[in-house]
Structure 1
Amino acid sequence: MSSLSTLPYLGSGLGHRGELDEPIRSAAGKIDWVEVISEEYLFADDGRRERLERLRELFPIVPHGAELSIGSPGEPDPLYLDALARLVDELDAPWFSDHLGYRCAEPSGPGALMPLPRSREVARELAAKARTVQAAVGAPFLLENIAYQVDLPAPMSEADFVAEVLEHCEAGLLLDLAALDANAAGHGYDPLAYLDRVPLERLVEVHLSGGAGRDGRAEDARSRPVPERVWALLDEVVARCPVPAVLIERDRDFPEDFTDLLDEVERARQAHVRRRDELMWV
C-alpha cells in the first residue's frame, strides 16, 4: 500500500456529473483527472459502468464517497466496503475518499452530512474505523472536512479534532476550502488559524466550489463559481505545502458555457503548478 508521500501528482481536475459527461470527455486535454461519486457505480448494472470505462480511457479517476458515514455507530458495512474495493481496483485509483462526519437519514433521501462530537475518544474511534476502511479497500484513504450549520460546545476545536483523527490512522487529508470558508464565517473562527492546526503534511487533495454562505449559515451548495475568498485560501494552502490534486466541484446550476468551468480548472492548475515549480528549484 502506498504511503502518502509517494502518491502521484494528479494536477487540476473536475468533479464528474452525468450532465457534464460529454463536455468533460471532449475537454480531455484541458482536465487532468476526474472525481466520481462512488455510490453511483458501486452496484450499477446499467450504462453507468460503460460510461465509467469511457472516462477511464481518458483520465485518472478517483472515487469520492458520500454515504460511507464513518461517524455512524457500529462498523462500516462490509458489503459496501467490498463493492468499494472492487471499484477502486477496477479503476486503478491512486486513492479514494469520503467525509469526516455521519449521514443523518431523511425519509426523502440519504440525508445531510452532520458533524461529530469533538472529543479525543470519538476521534480515536473514527481513526480505528478509518484503519478498517483502508485495510478493506486496499488503497490510500482520504478524509474530508464538512460544512455544518450547528456547532455544539465541544472540548476540541474542529481543526484539533481533524488532527487527532489523522494522528491515529494513516488516512490523508482532503481539504474542502469552501466548507472551511463557510464554517469559519458561520462559527466565528479564523480559517488561517485552522490551517495552522491541521496536519498539512497529510494533505493530498483540495476541493474548490461556490455556494458557501457568509450570513452565519454553512451552505456548501456547490452551485456557483468559486468565490475569490476561496481562491485566496487556495493560494494560502499552496504557499504552505505541496498539493498533489485540486478539484473543481459543481453539483447543479451548471453554466451554459462549459468553458466557465474549464477556466476554473485552469486557474486552479496555475495556482498549484506555479508553487510546485517553485519547490522544484529550492
Structure 2
Amino acid sequence: MTTAPSGTAPAAATATAVPVSGLPYLGSGIGYRTEIKDAIDSPANRIDWLEVITEHYLFAPPDVRDVLHRLRRRFRIVPHGLELSIGAPREPSPRYVDALAQLVDEIDAPWFSDHLCFTRAAGVALGTLTPLPRTREIAREVGRRAQRVQAAVGRPLILENVTYYIDLLSPLSEAQFIAEVMEHCECGLLLDLTNLDINARNHGYSATEFLDTIPVERVVQVHLAGGTGGEDDRMDLDTHSEPVPPAVWGLLGELVGRAPVRATLLERDQNFPEDFGELQAELDRARLILDSGWDMRAGTRAEVR
C-alpha cells in the first residue's frame, strides 16, 4: 500500500460532505454476509439497509462489484472499512482513498465508516484493530486527518469505537479521547454499543458516564452484536457470534433517548442461526427502539429520509 508523507492530503478530489445533522434516517439494517445472502435477498424479510465490508469491494473485479449494484436496487448501502488506519502516523494511502471515493459515489452511500484505531505501521498490515495511545496530541492529529479524508471522499466519515483488552495508562479516558477527536473534525460517530458494553465491563468503567462524556449528538449509527466470555474472571470477547445481550439493548434505549440516531446495524459474523427469524426478531426490536427515540422528538423520520 502506498502512503503519502505525514501532513499531506490524500490524492482525491476535494468535496464538501453533508453535515451529520443532515444525514438521512436509514432504520434497522444488517451486515451483508454470504452465509445469509439468500435471506437478505428474500423480499419477505424486513431489512431497511445493508452495511458491506469496504475491502471486499474496493479493488474487486466487475462481477463482484455487480453484487453491490444489484443490492443497491433494493437497499441503501453503507461501506464499513477495516484498513483506513486513520490512527497511523502517516496519511492513508491516496490509492485507497481515491478508490474509496469512487466506491462511495458509485453506490451513492449516505456515509462511510471505519475504526478509530490503526491497522498498519511502517507499511506492515497488523491484522487487528489496534487501539491508540489516548493523548490530546494524538486525538488532534487523528481528528484533522479524519477531516482530510472526509473532504477527499466527499461524504461524511463516521468513526467507530473499538474493543481493547489491554488498557495502558493514558492521560485521557476512552470517552475523553473520542470527545477530543470530535473537537478537531466534523465527522460523525459509529457507536458500537457492544464494544462499549464489553470495554466497560472488562475495564471497570460506567457505560452511562461514557455516554455523558462523548458528544452523543454526533452519533449517526450504532452497531449491535453479541460476544462471549465473562465467566470465571475471563474477559468478555467481541466475537459477533451471539444474540444481542440485554445490556446492549438497554444502552440502545438510553442512547436514542439522548440523540437522533439515524441507523442501527446488526452484526453477525459467525454462528448464524438456521432460522433467519431469530435475526429478524433482533432487527425488528432495534427498529422499534430506534423509532421510539424519534417519536419522543418533535421532528419526524420523514424529515431526514
User: What is the TM-score with the length of structure 1 in the denominator?
Assistant: 0.95
Q: Which residue of 2 aligns with 1:137?
A: 153
- 1:225-264 matched pairs, under 5 angstroms: 225-264=243-282
In the comparison of the two structures, how many residue pairs are matched? Answer: 279
Q: Distance in 2 between matches of 1:40 and 1:87?
A: 11
Aligned residues of 1:179 and 1:212 also touching (Cα < 8 A): no
* Match of residue 192, structure 2, among 176, 180, 191: 176
Change (3 A) 1:280 1:39: same
- Per mean C-alpha deviation after superposition, the further-off stretch among 96-105 and 161-170 is 96-105
- Per mean C-alpha deviation after superposition, the further-off stretch among 251-260 and 156-165 is 251-260
Q: Distance in 2 between matches of 1:281 and 1:117?
A: 39
Aligned residues of 1:95 and 1:139 also touching (Cα < 8 A): yes
- 1:204-223 matched pairs, under 5 angstroms: 204-211=220-227, 213-214=229-230, 215=233, 217-223=235-241
Letter in 2 for 1:21: K
Query: Does the alignment pair 1:15 with 2:31?
Result: yes
Q: Which residue of 2 aligns with 1:34?
A: 50
Per-residue CA deviations over 1:190-212 (Å, capped at 9, x if unaligned) read: 00000000000111001000015
Q: Distance in 2 between matches of 1:75 and 1:119?
A: 19
- 1:40-79 matched pairs, under 5 angstroms: 40-45=56-61, 47-79=63-95
Letter in 2 for 1:257: D
| Stretches of structure 2 lacking an aligned partner (at least 5 in a row) | 1-16, 301-305
Q: Distance in 2 between matches of 1:5 and 1:268?
A: 21
- 1:102-121 matched pairs, under 5 angstroms: 102-103=118-119, 111-121=127-137
Aligned residues of 1:145 and 1:175 also touching (Cα < 8 A): yes
Aligned residues of 1:175 and 1:205 also touching (Cα < 8 A): yes
- 1:142-181 matched pairs, under 5 angstroms: 142-181=158-197
Highest RCO, 1 vs 2 (Cα 8 Å, sep ≥ 6)? 2
Q: Distance in 1 between matches of 2:93 and 2:87?
A: 12
Letter in 1 for 2:40: I
Q: Which residue of 1 aligns with 2:8?
A: none
Letter in 1 for 2:161: N
| Stretches of structure 1 lacking an aligned partner (at least 5 in a row) | none
Runs of at least 4 residues off by over 4 Å = none
Query: Does the alignment pair 1:25 with 2:30?
Result: no
Aligned residues of 2:192 and 2:222 also touching (Cα < 8 A): yes
Secondary structure of the residue aligned to 2:227 is coil
Amino-acid identity (%):
56
Q: Distance in 1 between matches of 2:199 and 2:181?
A: 19
Aligned residues of 2:227 and 2:236 also touching (Cα < 8 A): no
Q: CA deviation at 1:278?
A: 2.1
Q: Which has the higher helix share?
A: 1
Q: CA deviation at 1:7?
A: 0.4
Change (3 A) 1:216 1:127: farther
